[in-house]
Chains A and B, each alone.
Chain A
Amino acid sequence: QVQLKESGPGLVQPSQTLSLTCTVSGFSLTSYHVSWVRQPPGKGLEWMGVIWTGGSTAYNSLLKSRLSISRDISKSQVFLKMNSLQTEDTATYYCARSGDPFDYWGQGVMVTVSS
């Protein structure tokens, strides 16, 4: 049974760094890519980046300077780190298995950027 679950802090202060973890089960990170997608409250979805089966990464050009995605295969975990957070980064952050298409998603984690 394929599952993804995001975890991380619900509140981050402006200018700080966001660290999220996506723990997957039911598939291997060496067989499927994993993407991060976010959704500001009441708004649409934005693809943030992907870590491919081989471990290389690609990022949304708008976020590239602030974003890093990595993984620990032994723990079946994918990590997102994004620095210099601003209020407009307030959103629900999802990880999704993206082996063409994005077929399974986590439940999402709401992150609020506020002092």
Chain B
Amino acid sequence: DIQMTQSPSFLSASVGERVTLSCKASQNINKYLDWYQQKLGEAPKLLIYNTNNLHTGIPSRFSGSGSGTDYTLTISSLQPEDVATYFCLQRNSWPTFGAGTKLELK
């Protein structure tokens, strides 16, 4: 199975700050990488699919990039409502998730 490693595990940032989250695959996943936001007590919500495609209704401050084994989610200007845990998911083979990055406000 493809292993997904997210970093950092925990991140504290200020409102308005640019935030970058990383996800590294154990092998090439050909850009089949999605990002999810999960707020406490809620189901995961799709943000970005296939590396850099913004899902319907997601604010443009979210963006994704990457290739091969290394992928990034960027929030251009952190907002209070962005406090959540962020997971990556690879779909190049049987789906596997990263362990998540918990994002909080400083």
Contacts and interface: CB of A to CB of B under 8 A. Distances in A.
Interface of A: 35, 44-47, 58, 60-61, 94, 98, 100-108
B83 interface: no
User: Which label, helix, strand, loop or mixed, suits the secondary structure of the B interface?
Assistant: loop
B8 to A, nearest CB: 15
A32 B5 CA distance: 29
Interface residues of B, number: 20
A101 B50 contact: yes
Interface of B: 1, 34, 42-46, 49-50, 55, 87, 89, 91, 94-100
A95 B97 CA distance: 15
Nearest to A45: B97
9 contacts: A47-B96, A94-B43, A101-B34, A101-B50, A101-B89, A102-B46, A102-B95, A104-B46, A106-B43
Contact of A100 (B44, B91, B99): B91
A42 to B, nearest CB: 10
A44 B94 contact: no
Contact of B34 (A44, A102, A106): A102
A107 B34 contact: no
A13 B77 CA distance: 47
Contacts of A103: 46, 49, 55
